[in-house]
Each structure stands twice: as C-alpha cells, then as structure tokens.
Amino acid sequence: MTQDEEPSINQISFTWPKGFYNDGIKIGLGTVDKKDFGYLFSQVPAAAAGTYTTNKFQAAPTKLTKDTINIDHKLQAVIVNSAIANSCTGAQGTKDALTEQQWLADALNIDTNLVGVASTGLIGAYLDMDKIKAGLPKLQPKTGDDVSQAVLTTDKQPKQACVQVELDGKTVTITGFAKGSGMIHPKMATMLGFVTTDAAVDGDLLQETLSAGVDTTFNQITVDGDTSTNDMVVVLANGMAQNTEIKTAADTDYDTFAAGLKFVLGELAKQIAADGEGATKLIETNVTEALNSTEAQSVAKAVVGSSLVKAAIFGDDPNWGRIIAAIGMVDAHMDVDHVAISANGIPLVKDSVALPFDEAMVSESMKAAKVTIDVSLNSGTAVGQAWGCDLTYNYVKINASYHT
C-alpha cells in the first residue's frame, strides 16, 4: 500500500481467525437464567495487549490480567464470567482470580502466565468457586459465538465485529466481541472487549496500536458517566495467518492492520453506546474546527454525556440550548461568538445564535435510531467524535433494582 492509498477493509459476518476457539455455558453464578461462564483460547501462544479501567478500585481479575500481559505481552487463553465482578473482594478475590488462572492453565496444559481472567457483574460479591471448578470440564473448543453470550449482563444482545484485510499477500481476520450496557464512561464501565486476530504482530507494537485505537473509540463512548472497576479491552494476535511479522509502525502492512483493528474497536464501541441501559437511540457527536484533537474529543464526549442532552433526545426535543451549554462547560478553545450546531444535518445554530428551522421536522428526524449532532468550534482544524445514548425512564428502572 502506498502512502496515498486508503487501507482496504472488508467487513464480514462473525468469523473466528485461524486457530481460535471458544465456549460459553450456564453454571448458575447469578440469578438470571443465562450463560455466565466461558473461555476463549488460541491453538498457539499469541501476542497480547490490553487497556484497563482507571478506576482506583480495580477488580482482582482485571489487575491479574494486566500483570500477566505485562510480563512479555503474551496470552493463549482467557477465562470469563458474568454475574459476579469479583471486585472489592479483598484477599479472597485475588486468590480466586489466581485459582481460576491456574485451573484453566492446567485444563489446557499451558503455562499459567498465558492465561487472562475477566469478570463482570455485581461488585462486592464473591465467586462460587465450586461452580467454576465444576463448569471448567464442560467447556469445549467450539467455533460459534457462545463466549460472547456468556459475558452479558444487562445487555440486550452481544456486540460483535469482524473484518478481513490483506497483509503480506495473506488474508488476515480481525474479530471482536464486547459487553457493556451500563456503568459506561471509559477511560479504560462494566465493559469488556476482546479482539482476536491471526495476524503476526509484535507484542509491544500491538500494545501501542491498541492504546491508540482505544483512545478514539472505547474512550469516546458514554452511557451514564460512571466508570466500573472491571473495564478491560484485550487483543490476541496468534500469527497463524503466516504473514511476515509486523514489527514497527514503519513496516509496509502496519497501516492496514492498524486500520482494521481500529475499525473493529469502533464498531464494538458504537454497539455498546447504542445498547446503553434503557436506551432507544444512538447519539453521535462530530466536532470540527477545534484547536486540537484532544479538545475536539472532550467537547464531543461532553455533548453525548450530558444528561440534559440525552433526555432531550429521548423526548425528540430539538433544544439546542442543552447542547451549547454542554459545549461551554468544556475547558477547550472555541470562538464563543461563532459556534455552529446541526442535528441530523439540519442547521440549528450559526454564529452562536439560533437559525430559523422547522421544529416539527427536526423533532421527527430525532425519532430515528441514530441522532447525529455536528458542532463547529471555529478555532482550528482538528476533529473529534464521540458516541452515547438517550436517557430514558427505563435506565432508572433497571438501576434502581440492579442489586435486588
């Protein structure tokens, strides 16, 4: 690919890359009748990278996986569960996470330092280790999507994305799945993301690429402004496509791989935002003419994160005053006399004052499953993007009884 060419990304239906298998089963960890336990593994050790919650009360499995990946950026398997977060569980929670890691390593006959652990669910509750021990032998190497079902909590459906790209003349698959519906406001929420690929990529470079990709995808979504103790996004690259290993960002195929990975991360992030607890609409905010990308992203996220904006969009109310107020709260450069705002392509504000528009027409357009807000700050050339969802009565209903 030359410098002027756009990477070719082929979006396909859910397909695992070469050498990856999974399973998800029901072992009764919670009160909901659903799959709640599973695993993901590669036939061979894979380069691995991760990003993790910045919440100070980082859950035991999250911390363990971070420490494990940081040894030499390698993983071969991840054990997962929903219903119980194994967070704020003290020494017992740490011991349980280590036990899970050891049990799966023994079952697969691999090194303990090749196993990650991921949990999501109720904070403060302890894992039922007897159920986990009994469930492990029931996991089978399958090629369906059962593991993506096993990590769900209040989600309405799994989040999945898959693309293929060509690297070194080889077809490479990049496949991801995620869960997340509430407690979503990453900076790396009960949010978990897993991406697998058969590309051959150096582990340190994979970490750099993932971190950069997460900054403009997962870290640009919000549902309710709350960050969880268990956030994690992990990527495994097992090299079974047999392309020449990508070792540096200057390598010929790096841009294509990075674009494919970012596409998958972005699709998963948007699906999480759209599936926010009680949500009926996806909100996308695009900021242009910002002084720099950091400020553009901050403004975009402030708009989609505003409870007043979210409530107005739930009510199909083109109240642009909510939007401009959210913009003005951000510590970012903007020409306060020349800000522009549009909703679903319909101009609402120019030079920071209202334009004449048909309120009924705009309101009708806001009944769509996706509402797009465009903002110009008139202060530079940088752009930013963020995603969120509307705030509904059902969000309160779900979270008023989450524990009970």
Active site residue 190: yes
pLDDT reported for residue 123: 87
Q: What are the structural domain ranges in the chain?
A: 10-271, 282-400
- Residues 72, 203 contacting (CB under 8 angstroms): yes
Residue 324's pLDDT band (cuts 50, 70, 90): very high
- Binding-site residues: 153, 179, 190, 277, 399, 404
Check 65, 190, 209, 222 and give the catalytic one: 190
In a 13 Å sphere around the CA of 230, the CA atoms on its Cβ side amount to 32
pLDDT, one tens digit per residue, over 188-235 is: 345 799 999 999 999 999 999 999 999 899 888 876 555 567 889 999
Percent of the chain scored above 90 by pLDDT? 77
* Residue reference for tokens 């302890």: 126
pLDDT, one tens digit per residue, over 95-146 is: 999 999 999 999 999 999 999 999 998 889 999 999 999 999 999 999 999 9
Fold observed for domain 282-400: Ubiquitin-like (UB roll) (3.10.20)
- Residues 194, 231 contacting (CB under 8 angstroms): no
| pLDDT, average across residues 281-306 | 95
State both tokens at 2.
């030359």
Residue 403's pLDDT band (cuts 50, 70, 90): low
| pLDDT, average across residues 373-378 | 98
CATH number of 10-271: 3.60.70.12
- Binding-site residues for substrate: 153, 179, 190, 277, 399, 404
Instruction: Quickly list DSSP for 58-124.
Output: --HHHHHHHHHHHHHSEEEEEEEESSB---S-HHHHHHHHHHHHHHHHHHHT--GGGEEEEE-SBTT
- Residues 394, 277 contacting (CB under 8 angstroms): yes
